[in-house]
């Protein structure tokens, strides 16, 4: 069991046996110790575990702001627009368009090999296999390959494309 899993288990067990006042104290102490962060969205009371990028309660970023685009480079605007159009086209037929699509690069041939997660408010859903299949996701794969040709991603790099208006 990793340290993060152990911390999650301990906090969860403490909160399960606590009343409201004790729960607030547990969350406050865990935040001070750096094991949790509280959402900065004034309408969201959620506490999130260290290492989590987005709030579990509302899906906003760590600083309490709605998620926005996160570009890999300021010089990729045309390529970025192409990726957004391809994603919007892909999800147009789907009744449940995500608020945003997140790409996390952990090595491999480029952005097409990134881990992909859909964001729906505070809920996330991983897309198994991402958009690797060029035949199935032709427009998206071409846009991701174009981004990679411009600038190969670095390990741990993260991009986010917001689709919600």
* Bridge partners, 123 (sequence order): 120
Q: Are 112 and 141 in contact (CB under 8 A)?
A: yes
Q: Find tokens 């809920």 and name the residue.
A: 123
Parallel, antiparallel or unpaired: strands 47-49 and 100-104: unpaired
Lookup result for tokens 């990729």: 76
The percentage of residues in the chain with a pLDDT greater than 90, rounded to a whole number, is 21
Give 100-111 pLDDT, tens digit per residue.
899 999 888 888
Give pLDDT tens digits for 73-95.
655 678 888 999 999 999 887 66
Axis crossing angle, helix 20-32 with helix 3-16, rounded to the nearest 10: 160
3-class DSSP assignment, residue 124: strand
Name beta bridge partners: 158: 104
pTM for this model (two decimals): 0.69
């Amino acid at each position: 069991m990793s340290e993060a899993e152990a911390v999650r288990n301990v906090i969860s067990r403490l909160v399960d046996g606590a009343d409201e006042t004790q729960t607030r104290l547990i969350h406050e102490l865990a935040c001070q110790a750096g094991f949790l962060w509280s959402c900065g969205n004034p309408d969201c009371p959620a506490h999130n575990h260290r290492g989590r990028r987005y709030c579990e309660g509302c899906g906003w970023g760590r600083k309490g702001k709605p998620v926005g685009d996160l570009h890999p480079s300021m010089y990729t605007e045309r390529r970025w627009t192409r990726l957004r159009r391809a994603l919007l086209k892909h999800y147009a037929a789907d009744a449940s368009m995500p608020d945003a699509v997140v790409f996390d690069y952990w090595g491999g041939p480029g952005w097409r090999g990134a881990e992909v997660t859909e964001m729906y408010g505070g809920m996330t859903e991983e897309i198994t296999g991402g958009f690797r299949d060029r035949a199935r996701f032709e427009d998206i794969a071409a846009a991701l390959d174009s981004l990679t040709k411009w600038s190969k991603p670095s390990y741990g790099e993260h991009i986010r494309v917001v689709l919600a208006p």
